[in-house]
Amino acid sequence: MTATETGAEDQVPPGALTPGLTAGQRFKAILGGSAGNLVEWYDWFVYSAFAVYFSNHFFPGDDELAGLLKTMAVFAVGFFARPLGAWLMGLYADRAGRRTALTAAVGLMCGGSLIIALLPSYETIGVAAPILLVIARILQGLSVGGEYGASATYLSEMAGKKRRGFWSSFQFVTMVMGQLIALGLLALLQSTMDKSALDDWGWRIPFFIGAAMAVVVFWIRSRMDESQSYENSKASGAESARTMMLFVRYPKQTLTIFGFTAGGSLAFYAFTTYMPKFLTGTSGFSGTTATAITAGALVVYLFALPFFGWLSDHFGRKTTLWLAFGGGGLATYPAFTAIAGTQNALVAFGLVSLLVVLLSGYNSVSAVVKAELFPANIRALGVALPYGMGTAIFGGTAEPIALAFKRAGMESGFYIYVAIGLAVSFFIVFLLPDNRQHSLILED
């Protein structure tokens, strides 16, 4: 679909396609947009990283696995708030601006983290404890759902045509950095605190830190520049974003994003968030070793993402997506099987690294490939809503489904489930246009 067919070119007033940002201006914009993304995802992943320590505070009982399963079900509830956050904040970002939406999103995350940090246990306030935990996760789900669309759109619009894949890959770079900081803090507290103290009160520390970081980013984001794409869209008098526009005017793009997001999100949470629990509960590694293996693989992932983003600028987004979904689909079952059977930490590290490197072909272009499919007046909503729905249904349920397979004594069924999800996404990528000829981001 071309810019003429969508009316995207009509959103650029005469003279608006001026020379792009300088290197310094672009770096400042990418840094400002990414800083909040790091904090958002730190707060999001801290819940999963510390779940084993606080699950009994809200879901007491003799069966620890059952308590953990309930806690991770609350994690999934947060995912199901993400489409709502994506919808509301996507509309807001298209109407009020990317900067305004990003500032609001990080404010919601601060509130959710602070509630969890201060929340009394089940023994103190009874059933109100798990109810308030669910409310806090819903706030965080609304925040992350809204963050993704606004952040992906802002970074893609500020990145510049020649290196758009490279610069926009930093959305996932900062996401992984947030996860690494969460894991690093977990490792630090595990090594410096007694397990009893960590179980009792130490797990609250990372949530206090997350709330404080969010306050700092709120201040930073309130001072960011708005993107030229949004300014041009408003100056042209383009039609305001409406939800039904996605399904009436852009049904193919919307369904395509939902489809490849489903497999990509499922794999991402299987390979990263669930992996420490898999390494301890199935492979038999200690918690410290499992954390170190996962953190090491995430460092590899951190460097792979901008490389694949750069690769997509030269060979197209579809090339890296096919590598991610095809290679990941083929590697998932044998890699998980080998990880489950090894006691060698280096072998486990190599296998987990292989999985996340393959997945980098998707995550590196996750933001930009969506943003390039929509004109500016509906771009944030178009990026956010199908992504939020796909992530909620498949990413948010990855850990509960994995634990359910484990409880049923059919753990290998989860490996097959992930591999099938990646295979389906591989074929959906055929529906994507070539970004090198059909990108709807017109500025710079």
**HSE-up of 377 (CA within 13 Å, CB side)?**
24
User: Looking at the domain assignment, is residue 232 inside a domain?
Assistant: no
Closest-CA residue to 360 (of 242, 250, 272, 247):
272
Q: How far apart are CA 177 and CA 171, in angstroms?
A: 10
User: Looking at the domain assignment, is residue 12 inside a domain?
Assistant: no
Longest CA–CA span in the chain (Å) reads 69
pLDDT of residue 238: 65
Q: How far apart are CA 101 and CA 104, in angstroms?
A: 5
Q: How far apart are CA 427 and CA 144, in angstroms?
A: 28
Q: What is the CATH number of the domain that holds 416?
A: 1.20.1250.20
Q: How far apart are CA 429 and CA 393, in angstroms?
A: 19
User: Looking at the domain assignment, is residue 236 inside a domain?
Assistant: no
pLDDT of residue 13: 46
pLDDT of residue 67: 61
pLDDT in tens, 96-119: 888 888 888 888 888 888 998 998
Torsion sign over Cα 408, 413, 414, 417? negative
HEC profile for the chain?
Answer: CCHHHHCHHHHCCCCCCCCCCCHHHHHHHHHHHHHHHHHHHHHHHHHHHCHHHHHHHHCCCCCHHHHHHHHHHHHHHHHHHHHHHHHHHHHHHHHHCHHHHHHHHHHHHHHHHHHHHHCCCHHHHCCHHHHHHHHHHHHHHHHHHHHHHHHHHHHHHHHCCCCHHHHHCHHHHHHHHHHHHHHHHHHHHHHHCCHHHHHHCHHHHHHHHHHHHHHHHHHHHCCCCCCHHHHHHHHHCCCCCCHHHHHHHCHHHHHHHHHHHHHHHHHHHHHHHCHHHHHHHHHCCCHHHHHHHHHHHHHHHHHHHHHHHHHHHHHCHHHHHHHHHHHHHHHHHHHHHHHHHCCCHHHHHHHHHHHHHHHHHHHCCHHHHHHCCCCHHHHHHHHHHHHHHHHHHHHCCHHHHHHHHHHCCCCHHHHHHHHHHHHHHHHHHHHCCCHHHHCCCCCC
Classify residue 23 by burial, with Cβ atoms within 10 Å: 0-12, 13-18, 19+.
Answer: exposed
pLDDT of residue 66: 60
Q: How far apart are CA 190 and CA 291, in angstroms?
A: 10
Classify residue 199 by burial, with Cβ atoms within 10 Å: 0-12, 13-18, 19+.
Answer: middle
What residue ranges of the chain have pLDDT lower than 50? 1-5, 7, 9-10, 12-19
Distance of CA 209 to the CA centre of its chain: 20
Question: Cα-atom radius of gyration of the chain, to the nearest Å?
Answer: 21
User: Looking at the domain assignment, is residue 7 inside a domain?
Assistant: no
Q: How far apart are CA 309 and CA 220, in angstroms?
A: 26
Closest-CA residue to 243 (of 441, 382, 367):
382
Query: Cβ contacts of residue 184 below 8 Å, gap of 6+?
Result: 295
pLDDT in tens, 273-316: 899 889 998 998 988 899 889 889 989 999 999 999 999 988 88
Number of domains composing the chain: 1
Rounded to 10 degrees, what is the CA torsion of 402, 261, 431, 12? Answer: 180
Query: Cβ contacts of residue 298 below 8 Å, gap of 6+?
Result: 176, 179, 180, 183, 272, 356
pLDDT of residue 300: 95
Q: Which amino acid is at 36?
A: G
User: Looking at the domain assignment, is residue 290 inside a domain?
Assistant: yes
Exposure string of 46-84, with b = 16+ CB inside 10 Å and e = fewer, is bbbbbbbbbbbbbbeeeeeeebbbbbbbbbbbbbbbbbb
User: Looking at the domain assignment, is residue 96 inside a domain?
Assistant: yes
Q: Identify the domain containing residue 139 by its residue range.
A: 21-225+241-438
User: Looking at the domain assignment, is residue 177 inside a domain?
Assistant: yes
User: Looking at the domain assignment, is residue 199 inside a domain?
Assistant: yes
Q: Which amino acid is at 388?
A: G
Length of the chain: 444
Closest-CA residue to 161 (of 21, 322, 35, 33):
21
Query: Cβ contacts of residue 354 below 8 Å, gap of 6+?
Result: 331, 335
